[in-house]
Structure 1
């Protein structure tokens, strides 16, 4: 039996495990019954059961119309969609093109685009008070034409701060004027406010590509043929089951109406849990300003805790969250919200 020489892979460096995956792994191994997982960005119902379906990310005929979207391609998931689109953009715009991502941002944004060979830069996107428009506009003004800007359509991950309609309009005008390329990661449309159209406001008026479980863009025949070739190379044929589920729901008036109601239900539950956590911390007199919990939108919120606080909560109280204190509000429910508030309060007052 032949063996592969270790020297063939001597230049391969060790890559640290994904922080959120490792946090979930540690949480799953924790035998304590009252443990709380606030790290994983998946929707759960009031009983802590995984209930968020990819249907909350579909593109449907809601306001801007399916007639606008001439072509669409499916991918197995969000990261593969980003990689396929990034590969196409690198071929179209050149390897010297810079990709700009928000700071903070979803960790895979940098990893995916750097793996393709792009230079990735960050720009300050948010502070404790909201979107840092001054930094955003300055970066747009200074970026070279054809630069790619990765925007979060709604429920910015991880900050929870979203642009207002007037701010999106201002961004769109600069993008057009300076010939920049906007790439929207739209994983939470409808889950932020309960209204799919409202959450998609940033997409209006921009020539862009939208990335989620589907990729859609008004493409020429040549552009689409290139995209199809790349998909064939990377994934050959994407799984059809999810697409069939989507079609079945969109074509059935009753199922479509139920999906819209479910979006309202899910977004309302997340907002209610945020209000209850805010109320609990306020009633306990917990040090700090907790208004961000009810001001930030969507599933995620950065609490403003230090890494030491985060480690203490995990070790002493079995409450798990990212080191940045980014939490998934969907991990809170009626049975643990008071416990979470009390543990945060005790940690900050100790």
Structure 2
């Protein structure tokens, strides 16, 4: 692991428009004039930095070694999906292995994002070296089943020993435990060992900015020089895709992250959101038990995050939609955030009826296998 997996990435040429500023900055002439920048300039020809922005910048403290060493390159993307796509296209162009191994099951959009970007879906990564492996950072979608801290460490050791490249999808930070730091633990574990990894991060849900599509792709490299070259190539991926991301939502996120008091306030509000989801889990579980609904429903309170993978089959889901006007994905995944104390009884009635009328256990064998996985299973697949 001494050599960077991005060692072959070369410095990309400057964009013909954005490169104008680079060329201008290199020009030593006292009469130089830059008319290529479409951004506000002062009478002195300099960018205007607002006083409030300067204050926010002074509050920002980068205390992680990888950040201090300039080994992390981060680009703003269009929420989590856009971050995954940019990372996938970068890897398809510059990483020698074109296969990516994704969890089973996983978010339905993952296969499309990666294959359309030029990567192939792998099948059995335990026999593969140097391949890309997608990992849900926390609050696995759709199962709500995350590895324990010990299991994450075993996964890290196995992946590093095989030279596998981790690509984290962090869409629900804060919704798993209610704690931002705890939910980032899996990514930080891989960053701390000095190895390389990618992380696609969304602020759409945990900041209530879904319509703003705020996200970021971070690539942790071996050296600052590698990070610089990687960033130059990321720009070439982004330029023909969306050129520049919108600023409004990103400015809101940046303001909150840079202000200590606002960050604390956000953390408290996020914890309240996570706690309400936990409460909905308990209420649904209690309601099903009270009705004597066939099957073991303890997985509802064992799972974490925004979603519950109920185990209801396609026919049961269709029955609930037709008879009870309840809508969910056909695999039985439900968003716990969409429930309230008022609607839990209605859902419990629908599930009870679906399971009873259709005479089938609500928990599929495939889900039961996921729920009962041991540490050995998680690190040997």
Report the TM-score, using the length of structure 2 for normalisation.
0.68
Tell me the equivalent position of 2:121.
120
Deviates more, 1:215-224 or 1:176-185: 215-224
The corresponding residue for 1:71 is 73
Q: Indicate whether 1:147 and 2:154 are aligned.
A: no
Contact residue 141 and residue 174 of structure 1 kept, 8 A = no
Q: Which residue of 1 aligns with 2:325?
A: 318
Q: State the partner residue of 2:200.
A: 211
More displaced 10-residue stretch of structure 1: 227-236 or 146-155: 227-236
Task: Give a deviation string over 1:179-204, Cα, whole Å, max 9, x none.
Answer: 11100000101111111111112113
What is the match of residue 225 of structure 1? 232
For 2:90 and 2:289, the matched residues in 1 are separated by 49
Which of structures 1 and 2 has the bigger CA Rg? 2
Q: CA deviation at 1:324?
A: 0.8
Q: Where do residues 116-265 of structure 1 align in structure 2 (5 Å cutoff)?
A: 116-121=117-122, 139-143=124-128, 145-206=129-190, 207-212=196-201, 213-219=215-221, 220=226, 221-265=228-272
SS of equivalent residue, structure 1 residue 205: helix
Query: What is the CA distance between 1:348 and its match in structure 2?
Result: 1.8
The residue correspondences of 1:270-309 to structure 2 (distance < 5 A) are: 270-309=277-316
- Is the alpha carbon distance of 1:229 and 1:295 closer, same or farther for their aligned partners in structure 2, counting shifts above 3 Å? same
**Is the CA contact (8 Å cut-off) linking 1:72 and 1:217 kept in structure 2?**
yes
The 1-side partners of 2:333 and 2:299 are apart by 12
Kindly provide the CA deviation profile for residues 203-250 of structure 1, in whole angstroms up to 9, marking residues without a partner as x.
133221100211112342111111122111211111111221112112
- In the TM superposition, residue 61 of structure 1 has moved relative to its aligned partner by 7.1
Partner of 1:51: none
Q: CA deviation at 1:321?
A: 1.1
Aligned equivalent of 1:93: 95
How large is the RMSD of aligned CA atoms in angstroms? 1.9
Once residues 62 and 188 of structure 1 are traced to their aligned partners in structure 2, the CA distance between those partners, rounded to angstroms, is: 22
Structure 1 SS opposite 2:283: helix
What CA distance in whole angstroms lies between the structure 2 residues aligned with 1:142 and 1:271?
38
Give the secondary-structure state (helix, strand or coil) at the position aligned to 1:176.
helix
After the TM superposition, which segments of 4 or more aligned residues of structure 1 sit over 6 Å from their partners?
Answer: 60-63
Matched residue count: 273
Does the CA contact (< 8 Å) of 1:140 and 1:175 recur in 2? no
Alpha-carbon offset, residue 63 of structure 1: 8.3
What is the TM-score of this pair, normalised by structure 1? Answer: 0.74
